[in-house]
Amino acid sequence: MEKIKVAVNGYGVIGKRVADAVQMQEDMELSGVCDVVTDWRIQMAVLKKYPVFASDDTFQIKMNEAGINSSGTLNDLLASSDIIVDCTPKKIAAQNIELYKKLGKKFILQGGEKHETTGHSFSAENNYATALNLDATRVVSCNTTSIVRTLTALKNAGLLLKARGTLLRRATDPWESHLTGIMNTLVPEKEIPSHQGPDAQSVDPSFDVITSAVKVPETLSHLHYWNVQLTRKADKEEVLDAFNKSTRIAMIKYSDELAANNTVKELMLAIGRPYGDMYEVALWQDMLKVVGDEVFYAYLVDNQAIVIPETIDAIRALTGIEPDAEKSILKTNESLGVKQSFY
């Protein structure tokens, strides 16, 4: 079987995880990773024997001076790749689009970019088919991914009428917590709805969803609280059954001492996840409450990991190597160990 050759531009929080995930797929091959840094981060790619490329000639010289034997520049990497996953910082990716288009390369952007940059926003369980053989898509952000997953589960069960959610957002990524973030305060987003609701509608315009968000002084994950009006009265078991039909929502229990994001992070480390990553939405089963035609629930989102399986599925969709969404999701889940129960 001929493998799809995948390039990763930007070897940071998301890029390193995408590169690792690509390496685990039987139908993909990592053609290389590209960056502008010469510190420990890119040294990890060298240690893993990934082909390393510099953004341009200037950075290639810097890499060589730092003892990193680069395989060339971004242009060289693109020439040997079928598709590129751009994981560069917010707004940088949008500047790379013209190069990708000029070279006729399919590309995937991350959720930091606007929907308009690609004209398509992706979430595997919701709209995989609409991405088949497109030239580009955008995998929506970590929070939006969780929203689309959970609301899609309710929608598929015929239960979703409208949704209202409050997001407690981590202040910054863990590795940058010594540089940026907030301390001893809470910072609400000044607009309601916050951007996640409209972003979810870029994937599925049928969603009646409004979000509000608050930045909080921690870095481990996001926490969501949701109030969803159902299309009719239902009981708890029916709602749980709807969520359980998603292969990327995992139930956790407050009664199992999984009472906070740090305990769930510890669980991910205990089960051997790389970087302690959680690809699933971790939804508190015993907290979920149904009152008539309303359901109230809460869950955790790993801001560094939840989009990784979506990105792998997006590669298959754009290249057309797997036209069936369920088959792609199954392949990705099996390779990454995505599960509906952690123990």
Average pLDDT (327-338) is 98
Residue 173 lies in a domain: yes
Strands (E), the chain: 4-9, 28-35, 52-54, 83-86, 106-109, 121-122, 136-139, 160-170, 187-188, 209-216, 222-230, 249-252, 281-284, 289-291, 294-301
Together in a domain, 45 and 114 = yes
Give 175's pLDDT tier (boundaries 50, 70, 90): confident
> In which domain, by residue range, is 72 found?
2-139+306-334
Helices 307-319 and 13-23 pack at an angle, to 10 degrees, of 60
Is the separation of the CB atoms in 111 and 307 below 8 Å? yes
Together in a domain, 104 and 156 = no
Give the tens place of pLDDT for each residue, 111-158: 999 999 999 999 999 999 999 999 999 999 999 999 999 999 999 999
Annotated active-site residue 142? The verdict is yes
Together in a domain, 64 and 176 = no
Pick out the residues of the known binding site for NAD(+): 35, 303
Give the model's pLDDT for residue 2: 86
In the block, tokens 């993909």 appear at: 28
- Say whether pLDDT at 1 is over 80: no
Using DSSP, state whether 78 is helix, strand or coil: helix
- Say whether pLDDT at 91 is over 90: no
Together in a domain, 13 and 132 = yes
- Say whether pLDDT at 254 is over 90: yes
Together in a domain, 204 and 330 = no
The CATH number given to whatever domain includes residue 38 is 3.40.50.720
Together in a domain, 256 and 236 = yes
Together in a domain, 292 and 313 = no
Residue 93 lies in a domain: yes
Give 90's pLDDT tier (boundaries 50, 70, 90): confident
- Say whether pLDDT at 94 is over 90: no
Give the model's pLDDT for residue 230: 98
Task: Kindly state the percentage of the chain with pLDDT values over 90.
Answer: 94
Residue 65 lies in a domain: yes
Give the tens place of pLDDT for each residue, 275-300: 999 999 999 999 999 999 999 999 99
Cα 67 to chain centroid, rounded: 33
Q: Tell me the two tokens of residue 246.
A: 């998603």
Residue 343 lies in a domain: no
Together in a domain, 163 and 135 = no
* Mean pLDDT computed over every residue of the chain: 96
Pick out the residues of the known binding site: 35, 303
Task: Confirm whether pTM is higher than 0.95.
Answer: yes
Give the span between the Cα atoms of 38 and 329, in whole angstroms: 35
Residue 341 lies in a domain: no
In order of 41, 92, 105, 284, the CA distances from 96 in angstroms are 22, 7, 11, 40
Average pLDDT (88-104) is 92
Give the model's pLDDT for residue 176: 87
Question: Which run of H or E residues covers position 218?
Answer: none
Burial profile 308-318: b = 16 or more Cβ within 10 angstroms, e = fewer = bbbbbbbbbbb
Q: Domain tally for the chain?
A: 2
Residue 75 lies in a domain: yes
Give 217's pLDDT tier (boundaries 50, 70, 90): very high
CB atoms inside a 10 Å sphere around CB 84: 27
Residue 342 lies in a domain: no
Using DSSP, state whether 332 is helix, strand or coil: helix
Q: Tell me the two tokens of residue 180.
A: 């940026």
Give the tens place of pLDDT for each residue, 227-238: 999 999 999 999
Together in a domain, 91 and 169 = no
Task: Kindly state the percentage of the chain with pLDDT values over 70.
Answer: 100
Together in a domain, 26 and 92 = yes
Rg of the Cα atoms in the chain: 20
Give the span between the Cα atoms of 68 and 111, in whole angstroms: 30
Is the separation of the CB atoms in 229 and 292 below 8 Å? no
Question: Which run of H or E residues covers position 336?
Answer: helix 325-336
Together in a domain, 64 and 209 = no
- Bond prior to 193 in cis (omega within 30° of 0): yes
Residue 193 lies in a domain: yes
Per annotation, catalytic residue among 13, 30, 142, 298: 142
- Say whether pLDDT at 33 is over 90: yes
Together in a domain, 81 and 178 = no
